[in-house]
Amino acid sequence: MPDWTDHGLRAAEEPLQIVFSTEQIDRRVRELAAEISAAYEVRDRLLVLGFLKGAFIFMADLVRAITLPHQVDFLVASSYGPGEVSTGEVRLLYDPASSLEGRAVLVVEDIVDSGTTLRLLLPRLQARGPSSLEICALLHKRLDAVEAEPRWVGFDAPNVFLVGYGLDHGEDFRHLPYIASL
């Protein structure tokens, strides 16, 4: 087992504070997968659509635990630059190739913060004619009321900058097996 105590940081930097442990995340992902599996039927033709890059680890664990047949695709959107605050501008860098027409679509998001990404991209997805469009977010900061509230949420998150389990700061820290505050 790797030694994560220094988190790959230089000695001069502050250590990370673990917010959600590996065990808490594993347990909650299995619970979410069970809830999602119970909510859909095979005839729904479920498409799990993940936001890259932040949701890739969460989504990988989630889709392996969902017990009904489903397909996977991704989209890449960005509203963060190198900083810790959203720019408020969302750029769609990769649009999913899968047909959404008549499909049950589950959007997997790493964190709902300002809600900007979901607010701007969900209408684009809805215009493609899915039979249903739901959201599963690993983390939700609940800062403001968001227009598209996730149906499934892994954890309510504190209003701090979080890294690990796919979440990054300047592309660092995604590899951590837990979620920590920076």
| Residues involved in catalysis | 113
CB atoms within 10 A of CB 100: 20
CB atoms within 10 A of CB 110: 26
Place of tokens 């900083």: 83
Q: 3-state class of 108 per DSSP?
A: strand
Q: 3-state class of 59 per DSSP?
A: helix
Determine contact, residues 113/158, Cβ cutoff 8 Å: no
Residues in the chain: 182
Determine contact, residues 20/155, Cβ cutoff 8 Å: yes
Rounded to an integer, what is the distance from CA 99 to the centroid of its chain? Answer: 21
